[in-house]
Chains A and B, each alone.
Chain A
Amino acid sequence: MNDELISLLRQHDPASGKALTEFDRTRILHRAQEARRTPHRRWLASFALAAVVIFVAAIAVFRHEPPAPAHVQTARQRQIQYATPGGTRIVWTLDPNFHM
């Protein structure tokens, strides 16, 4: 069955008895070489892109780091606002480091 099919295909092969020209052979070889090189190039491009993204992300992280506190001993201040029954408003700061 298979032999019959193979001989049938060979009988009707349009390229049967023809040879590749030098130009076509060079072209096909060139394409094959290029295809072999392309995965490497793609990998290199991906690597370069990833490096750029990591570099930019690192810059962003360092830029947004909170600045070192100017006063290391400064504890958190709290502020409260309220009004007395007499209508006087009070804005009060509770400061753990307060001194006159």
Chain B
Amino acid sequence: MKRLLLPLLLLIAVPLFASDVETTPAPPAPIATSSSGHTQLFQVVLVRGATSGAEELVGIPKNAEKAIRDIHDFLPFKSYKLLDSGLLRIDDSGKIRLDGVPPQQYDIDVAWRPVSANKLTIWNFQVVPVRIPGGVPLGKGIAPQADRPVIDTSFTIDVGETIVVGSSKLGGDVALVVLFTALPNR
């Protein structure tokens, strides 16, 4: 009987461990052209879209301005305001902190890999609001709430392309828009 029980237990236990392997999030598949040693420059422009108000796009880069013109007829937002912009040069992943509507700031986390000479996969793109210090102190034994990204996505992008990444409520009157460009390396 003991001789029968042991193999039976093993037989039942093996699928349990096997299923653990399946539920682990898969990292991006390694590819031959690794990004290590090769950095990529990204332009990140943070814009607020609104259904009313005047447009304020002074100082916005040309490529971002064209993207805004393109989305004017597509999205319900009639005015866009430049909040902040920055350049991000990263090897594999990194983040940039940009100013939102004061005092709010956002961390834009980017992780990328090359797909081909002119195409990249942005396998992680998150916009996370930065916790504003000086709020009401938490009670004893109450853990602070985790930072929830307002945007959490992935996509592919051509070098030189500007992608509009945004978030809003359905029927909402404001939107947070990131104009994200993979700049050609010089």
B132 within 8 A of A: no
A64 within 8 A of B: yes
Give chain A nearest CB distance to B32 CB in angstroms.
26
Of the listed stretches A9-17, A23-31, A32-40, A45-53, name the one at the interface; the rest are far from the partner chain.
A45-53
Q: Could you say which of B1, B19, B167 contacts A98, with CB atoms under 8 Å apart? A: B167
Q: A59-88 interface mask toward B, CB cutoff 8 Å, 1 = contact, 0 = none? A: 110011000001100100101011011111
Chain B, interface residues (CB within 8 Å), range = 35 or more
Known A52-B8, A52-B9, A56-B13; contact A90-B166, beta-carbon cutoff 8 A: yes
Please give, as numbers and ranges, the residues of chain A lying within 8 Å of B8 by CB-CB distance.
49, 52
Give chain B nearest CB distance to A28 CB in angstroms.
26
B153 within 8 A of A: yes
In contact, B155 and A100 (Cβ under 8 angstroms) = no
Known A88-B164, A91-B163; contact A59-B5, beta-carbon cutoff 8 A: no
Instruction: State the total of A-B contacts with C-beta under 8 angstroms.
Output: 95
In contact, B172 and A98 (Cβ under 8 angstroms) = yes
In contact, B66 and A90 (Cβ under 8 angstroms) = no
In contact, A71 and B67 (Cβ under 8 angstroms) = no
Give chain A nearest CB distance to B127 CB in angstroms.
9
Please give, as numbers and ranges, the residues of chain B lying within 8 Å of A49 by CB-CB distance.
5, 8
The 30 sampled A-B contact pairs (Cβ below 8 Å) are A48-B5, A49-B5, A49-B8, A52-B5, A52-B9, A52-B12, A56-B9, A56-B12, A56-B13, A60-B16, A64-B19, A88-B67, A88-B164, A89-B155, A89-B163, A89-B164, A90-B71, A90-B164, A90-B166, A91-B155, A92-B168, A93-B153, A94-B169, A96-B170, A98-B167, A98-B168, A98-B169, A98-B172, A100-B48, A100-B176
**Chain B residues in the interface with A (C-beta under 8 A):** 1, 5, 8-9, 12-13, 16, 19, 48, 66-67, 69-71, 73-75, 100-101, 104, 145-146, 148, 150-153, 155, 161-170, 172, 174, 176
